[in-house]
Amino acid sequence: MTAAFAVTARRIFDGSRMHADSALVVEDGKIRAITSQPDLPAGMPRSGPPVALIAPGFIDLQVNGGGGALFNNHPSTAGIRTICEAHARYGTTALMVTFITDRPELKREAITAGEQAAAQVLAGFLGLHLEGPHLSVARKGTHDPALIRPMTEADLSYLEGVAGRFGLAMITIAPESVTPEQVQRLVSAGYRVSLGHTDTPCADVPPYVKAGAGMVTHLFNAMSQLGNREPGLVGAALASPALHCGLIADGFHVDPVSMRIALAAKQGPAHIFLVTDAMSTIGSEETSFDLNGRTVYRRDGRLTLSDGTLAGADIDMLSCIRFVHEKLDLPLEEALRMATVYPAEAIGAGDRGMLEAGKRADFVVLDEQLDLLSTWIGGSCVHKSGSFADRATA
C-alpha cells in the first residue's frame, strides 16, 4: 500500500470533461478522486505547485519499436522494456508491442518475451499486437511478401494455446488469408481481431464483423480504398458501428483532408483512435535500421524502404495529438480522447483511458504548450522533464 498524495492542476481532463483548479488524488497506484483544491485534506502530500494540465496516459495499440530497438530485431523482454521506456518519454503509459510478419521461430520468441513481460508486470506493457503473417500480398505494404501466408490449423491451434499468457492480445489479419470461422475461434480465445493489409471488397467485411472482428489497422493504409462503386475496407470501416479504426496522424500516411472526412463520416459507437505505428527511431538518433533484411531510411520525418514505400512511422503519440488538434482543428478534449478513451475501448482495457475512481493512476502532466512534464504509470513517475518533482512532497 502507498499513501495517498495529490497532483494539482489548473485543468484536469478526466476523459470526459475538464475540471478547473482541481486535484488528482492517487492512492495505492489508483485514482482515488478528482476534487477541488480547497477540499484537499490538510497535510495531504502534493507533488508541487499546480501544473497546467493533467490528462489520462496515452494508449498506443501499434508500436513496432522505440529507443533504438525494433521488436522484430529484439524479440526479448529487454527489447520490450526499451520500447516501453522510450514511449513513456512522450506520454504513452500503455502500449501493444507489435510484431510484424517474420519467420515463425522469431514469432515464437516474441510471444515468449511477451509472456515474460506480462509475468514481470513490466511498466507500460499492455500486450502484443501480432500484425501478420496472415495478410494479403496485394496490400503487403512493408511486410515481406515471401513470409505472408494463409492461416493453417496448426497456426490457429498455436495461437489458441498461448492466448492469455502475454497480456492483452491483438492480431491483424486479412480476409484473403483467414476465414470467418478462424476469426471466431481467435475471438473466443481472447484475441482482438483487426482487419488490415487486405484488398477485400466491402461486401466481404460483414461476415468477419459478425465473427467478432472489431478493429481496422491503420485506416486508409494497406487496404482497399473507398471508391464510387466499391467502398472497400475504408468504406466498410467508416460505415460500421462495430469497427474501431486506428489512424496514423503524421501527415504522411493519410492526408489531413482524408482524416477530416473520415472523422466526420465514422459511424459509432466505435471510434477512430490514434496509433503511432512507431519504429525503433523514436527516442533515438538512428538514421536507418534493418527490417527483414531490408534497410529502412529515416528522412524528413518519414521512414521508407529504398523504393519509397512507407515503413512504419517516425512519430510519437503526443505529436499525433498535436497534429489532430492543430492541423485538423479538433478540440483538445477530442484529440486527447483519440489517444486515451477510444483505444482503451477498442482493446477492452477497462481500467485505463480515463481518470476515474478505481482506475489505474496512469496519467500525464502537460504545460500550456502541450509539452510533456511528466509521465505516471500506476501512480509512479516513470519520466520527468524540467523541474517537475517525481514524488509527492508535503
DSSP 393: B
Contacts of 14 (CB under 8 A, 6+ apart): 34, 56, 354, 355, 356
Catalytic residue among 277, 314, 316, 362: 277
Dihedral sign, Cα of residue 190, residue 344, residue 80, residue 248: positive
Question: CA-to-CA distance for 383 and 377, rounded, in angstroms?
Answer: 9
Cell numbers linked to 294: 531490408
Helices 256-265 & 232-239, crossing angle to 10 degrees?
A: 40
Catalytic status, residue 144: no
Question: CA-to-CA distance for 162 and 100, rounded, in angstroms?
Answer: 17
The 3-state DSSP class for residue 124 equals coil
Other Cβ atoms within 10 Å of 251 Cβ, number: 16
The one-letter amino acid at 322: R
DSSP 61: E
Please choose, from the candidates 192, 348, 215, 203, the residue with its C-alpha nearest in 3D space to the C-alpha of residue 272.
215
Active site (catalytic) residues: 277
